Structures are given as structure tokens and as C-alpha cells.
Chains A and B, each alone.
Chain A
Amino acid sequence: MSEQTSWLATRLPVAATLRAQVMGILLPRDMPYAATFAALVTGAVIFLILSGAVLSVYYNPWHGFDSIQFIIRDVNYGWLIHGFHETGTTMLFGAMYLLLFRAILHREYKAPGELVWFLKLAVLLLLLLTGFLGFTLADGAQSYWSLQNAALAVSQMGGLPGGLGNWFFGGPAGPSTLARLVVLHTAIALIVVLVLAIHLAAKRAIARIPGRPVALHPYYTSQYFVAFVVFCLIFAVLVFFAPHLGESRLNLVPADSLVVPAAITPPWYLLPETGIANTAASAMGHLINFLAAFAVLFALPWLDLSKPGTPPKFLSRVLSYILALDLIGLAITQTAATSILTGILSVLFTAWYFLHFLVLLPLATATETN
């Protein structure tokens, strides 16, 4: 055995590298379970890529709905692979939003963590795009009309957004659109893995060696393992007992170009963003609102006026929780039946969102020092 390992070790030192670079990483003693969210996101993305690979063996973009029914009914365990992919998406975005919220709550975006924060946002944007494309591939009534609206709006926009959008969708949606969206869906998902790897590298680059460190293995491997198992437990309960959670019922009606649903709603993880976007009137307005919402997030390291290294005080923490509730409220206004009340509420929630970042946060944090 020792002969074998030294043959490999002199040519590709896998074990030695693993020991030094991974298992030997020094970490503080008091990292909570919540620090595992990034690893859970990565694990979920990889699981979605694996289940997506099996689905893509059978998916037919020219008969999307029928091919998915074929997978569910006629492929061995096809229903389970499909459930893995759908429920996996819900778990992924749950973990992603929790990751972002924790970063906001603990002020991880302050120097020198700005790049790590940008990378998190980049991952969110790419995941939202991947998720939307996957949603259109389901080829149900909601998928079809969401795609029609998006591609049409984009093709009518002028300038750079219109040009880019036209390039992406290939013009207004037609019979061949899903075929290209399958490729884009897969490509962007793989890019997400790359960005997550860069995110990990950036995180390690700014990590300080703690006072009394412990090695990753076995202390944090066992902790990450517990987090993964609990994550899998929640996932199992949803996959087997609530497989259609988070899915619009209307998406189980086959796409019909002659019948428009009364309300076209995107999947749940896009609801807060849709809420902010929909307070504008035109398609260009939607895009501007969406970009503005992310612009304030990117600007967060500078909107937060506290000195770097200051733990957040009570007021900042309360504001963060209220922001989370605000976004959840926005999501709910998008699912409820359209009425004057939901219209007013979504405008109020959107206004609070921008108020939080542009006014309240700077004011609350300006006086915070260590």
C-alpha cells in the first residue's frame, strides 16, 4: 500500500494536498451551524446539476410538457428525479436567501468582505436566471405565458437591454425557444459552480487565523455533516410528502397559446423581485426597478456607514429583520389576487425597501463605532 501511495504521491499528491489545503484549514472554535449555508447552497447546486443531467436525457424541448409527463410516468424513478429537481430548487433558494440574510445581519459585507458580498449577489442573480429558465422549461400554462411576456417585452425594448435580451431569447418566444433555453439553463448553472468556487477562494483569502484554532477535519467536517443531514431531512419531507409545494397549480395545465391564465406568477423565489419590478408601469420601468433593487445591494458596503469591524447594534439588527419581513410581504402581495389593497401594499413595501437602504440604514449606522 505504501508503495502504491508513493507512486501516486510523486505524480499527483492528492492525499497530501487534501490534508494540507482542506482537512487542515484552521478555523475558530465557535462557528455556528448557520455558517454552513454556503456549503449547503453548493451541495444543492451540485445535486440539481446531477438530477438535471438525468432529466436532460429524456427532456424534449419541442414537446416540453409531454416529455416531462413521460419522465414522471414512464422513466424508472422519473417522478423522484423530477421531484428532486423541483424541490431541490426550493431548498436551494431557501438556503441562498438565508445565506444572504445572515451576511446582512452580521455585516459581512464591510471591508475587506466587499468582494465576497458581490460574489454572493452574483450567485443570486445567476441562480434567479437559471431558476426562471428552468421554470419556462416546465412548459405549463404559467411557464409559457411568463416566457411569452418576458421575451416579447425584451424584444420591444430599445438600446442595449433590448439587444442583449433579443440575443438571449432569440426574439419573441416561438416553438424553438425552449431548445435554446435548455442549453442556456445548463450553461448558467455550471457557471454558478464556478462563481461559488471563486466565492470560497475570496472568503479564505480574507479569513484571519483565529486565536485558538481547530482543524477543519474532524471538527468542522462533523459539524457540516450534521447540517447536511438536517438539510436532507427537510428535503426528504418536502420531496415525498409535499412535492408540489411552491409550484403554481396552473403550471400543471399544458401550455396553450389560445388560453391566457388570469394571473401569471413566477416561481416563489422570484416573487420579491417581481414585486419590486411590478410597481413600475412599462417593461423598461420593470427592468430599471429590478436593477435599482440590486444596485442598492451592491452599494451596501458603502451605504452602511459604520466603521469596519463594528458588530451591528440593536437598531441595525431590527432594521435587518424588518427588511426580511418587508420582502416576505412583497412576495405575498404578488401571490394574492390582484386588488387595490395589494397594489398599495406592494408600492409601500417597495418604498420601504429603498428607504431602508438609502435613508434608514445610513442614519442608523452612522453613529456606530466599536
Chain B
Amino acid sequence: MEFKDYYKILGVARTASADEIKKAYRKLARKYHPDVSKEPDADARMKEVNEANAVLSDTEKRAAYDQLGAGYKPGQDFQPPPNWDTGFEHAGQGFSADEASQFSDFFAEIFGHAGDRRQTSRAQSHTQSQTKGEDHHAKIVISLEDAWNGATRQISLRVPQVDAEGHVSLGTRTLNVRIPQGVKAGQMVRLAGQGGPGYAGGLAGDLFLEVHFEPHSLFRVDGRDLHLNLPIAPWEAALGATVEIGLPGGSAVNVRIPEGAQSGRQLRVKGKGIPGEPAGDLYLEIQIVVPEAKTQEAIKLYETMARELAFDPRANMKGQA
């Protein structure tokens, strides 16, 4: 296991005051916020910054980390001595077990016992009364086809595990989860009893999965509605046509393109979006694609059109320039 230099991650000196740590954290939290950051590894950096802040913003944890980490360099192989944390009390403040499961093995090894103690103290504070475990949260990324048909997906969650010697590391827990048909991006799926363990015989917490979609090469998804840019030939636009469109679920739909269709025009096919109650709609934005004049025959056809058709595509621009 590699040693993590939390001071370096936050860009502060080892002598930094609590206020300096807070300022450094907020600056980096803004920099790596997923909605604004252009950094390619923003998500990983944000987790690292959160982890560093969880330790350095907590007086007890910072003291324990300082004692343990004296003399270590970032990336150096690290193993804490047995019972190194005797005399320190980590109350688990500032982060939840759910958040801690996002942190590194290094964090789990040092502070993983905090959760045990917290559970004990929490149970004691409730005078052994039954208390529900913490709810956990995770994201799941599915394909459009999964949402269309429903699917069973395997998800892996990181959970603290204690070995025979009492060391804590992050293990992996794998669940097979049924994704209901018609699920929308941003919806939450609640898995009862799959969160943190209960206290004093209380129920386990729940696991909430936030559903995200993988980007699709053809369709854009908005709720259960699908949007598709539909390329058509000039003669299909001018004369009208029926075109077959393959849908994500494997089926297809025939759509009538009205004669005189123009690029940018939107057609709505009701009920042909993602199935559900109600089903979404399919929106087609027409894009007229012009064949290249690569052969003599094609050139002749274009020249005939230019000569025979009284057509000026810029007629409405005249007199306005």
C-alpha cells in the first residue's frame, strides 16, 4: 500500500492552520467540481481532495496521521504498526461510512476502525436500542438498450473488510441488480436492506442507485423521449418517403416523411421512445444530405435541376444585407 501525502494533495504546508486547510480545500473543490472542471481526471482528483480534507480537517485524525506518517514520502510503501492508534479516538465526524467507502485503501487501513467505534458508540448511545443502518448511495451506468428492455446488471461496491489480524481494507461486494424497464436517467432505484448494517439488531440501511446512461452513438435521450438526427436524400425530402428506423430495443418503425420536408424540421412519432407508463416519444430532426457530383451522370442531373427548377435558396435574404 502506498503512502498518501494529504498535505501535498491539498497543497498546504504540514504546519497549515485549520483555516488554511479549509481555504485550500474549497479552492480545489471548486476547481475539480464535475459541473465546471475541464480536467480529464477531475472525478478522481475530487475524491482524493475529499479524502485529504476528511483527515486534515478533523483534529484527532490529523494528529494520528501526523504521528503515523512522519518520515514517509508520497508513493512509498506503507504499513501501519499494530495497534498504532491506541490513544486516538476517531469519532467518524466529517464523513459518513458511505463517503468513506469512496476513499482509498490507505484511508481504510488507517481510519477503517473509526466506523467500528462509531457503530459501538452509536449503539451505546441508543442504550442498545435497535437503530437502522446508514443508507448508502452509488451510481450505475446502463445502456439505452438496458433501459428499453430492462436488464440485470452486476454492480461492484467497495466496502470495508476486516482481516484476521484486524487490518481494515476496502473489499468488493458484488450485487446482481434488476434494472426495471423504462427507467430514466437521473432516477433513483432503492434496494432495501443493501446499505450499512443495523445497530443492536436494527434493520440494515438501504442502497440508492442513481441511474446514468452511457452515451449512445445515434440517439439522444431526454426522459423517456428519444431524439435522432435523421439523414434523408433530397428526393425523399421533396417527394416524401417512408423510411425504416431501427430502435434501440431491436425493433423498427416505419416513418412517413412528408413531401417538401426541410432540414431542421422535427417529426414526432408518439409512443415510440423508451417503453414505460407512459412510453416516451421519438423525435426525428430531418437532415437533408446531398449526394456528391462525382460522376458525369450526377453532374448532368444537377445541371438539369439548375436549369429546369426555378429555385433560389437565398430568396429571402435579398434586400436585407
Please indicate whether A and B come from the same complex rather than being unrelated chains. no
